[in-house]
Amino acid sequence: MSTGFATKASRLTRPRPGAGSRGASTRIPLLVTAVLLVAMFTAGSLRYDGFFSTQVVLNLLIDNAFLLVVAVGATFVILTGGIDLSVGSVVALSTMITASLVEHHGWSLGAVIPLVLTIGAAGGALMGWIIHTFEIQPFIVTLAGMFLARGLCYTISTESITIDDPATVSIAQTRLYGSGGLFVSVSVVIALVVLLLAFVVLHHTRFGRGVYALGGNEASARLMGLPVGPTKIAVYAVSGLCSALGGVLMTFYMLSGYALHAMGMELDAIAATVIGGTLLTGGSGFVLGTALGVLVLGMIQTVINFQGTLSSWWTRIVIGGLLLVFIVLQRLMTGRRAETD
């Protein structure tokens, strides 16, 4: 008369769904990404002259510094299980505000940058507040944010604003040389500092662990007494802040503000995050993986440039293909939804 059928043996031989694989499942995509990056670099080096150089790698960072910053912000949001579609537009708006204030109103960068960052963070916090307070899906709220930011760009100017301000130009063109004539831009340093900060925040602060807990199980996080609302609002604020900073870096990179800058960057940021091993359902992933994801996107671009015969649109197609592979991979690893029949 015992519950004999559920013996210990049957329990051990039949692992629980997801048991044991969870730890591994967070790392496998990351590993795949790393291997992919190395493979692409190796293949590129074998095929193309001048590919195998440290400067090529550094140029990846120089050309993608702003994307890295934006993707880091997106990672915060995605880790909570949310999504932020407004990042590209906020980047564009930031380039517009920066360029307009510096060029047309004679503001100094020292005043403009804090203002732009504040606007970005406040906008993000506002979206987070709406999402949290009224329980509206993040995608539709940030979609509105996307419209709003892009539309505000046009109210500033429908034309591109080129920056001639000497101070800005000099910062933008500053090369920080290392040994052997290698160099990076100021933006790269800023982006790496942001990455490092994000890593520390996510892995070594209570707020960061709250972000993971929220993505793991929101109801649990609430019952464990974690500040769910403030955390949610904060991740969107972080995303807004990173987008604004990305916009400032893009202003340096392009030396202009334009409403059409960063079109579709939200997709690149999401793609980089996913390829970097973060689960789109939240709760699992690494911000350093996101950096790898950004490098993969940059590497695709670089390979296509070196190839010469391939056109730029292949970048989109390859990114889409990679996204497909990684999303299917994530799906298979976290197990299929119980019943879809």
- Name the minimum Å distance from CB 270 to other proteins: 7
Q: Write the interaction track for other proteins spanning residues 220-249; mark x where CB under 8 A is met and - where it is not.
A: xxxxxxx-----------------------
215 in contact with other proteins (CB under 8 A): yes
Written as six digits, the tokens of 172 are 């933008």
- Name the segment binding other proteins (CB under 8 A); options: 68-76, 99-107, 176-184, 311-319: 311-319
Site for other proteins in 168-207 (CB under 8 A): 200, 203-206
Taking contact as CB under 8 A, which single stretch among the options 57-65, 93-101, 286-294, 330-338 is the one that binds other proteins? 330-338
| Choice between 237 and 272, CB closer to other proteins | 272
Scanning 60-68, 103-111, 152-160, 233-241 for contacts with other proteins by CB under 8 A, the matching segment is 152-160
Q: Which of these, 165, 148, 12, lies nearest to 101 by C-alpha position? A: 165
| Separation between Cα atoms, residue 233 and residue 186, nearest integer Å | 30
CB of 98 to other proteins, least distance (A): 19
String marking each residue 102-141 x if it binds other proteins according to CB under 8 A: ----------------------------x--xxxxx-xxx
Q: Of 246-275, which residues contact other proteins (CB under 8 A)?
A: 259, 264, 267, 270-271
Task: Determine the interface stretch with other proteins among 51-59, 167-175, 232-240, 310-318 (rule: CB under 8 A).
Answer: 310-318
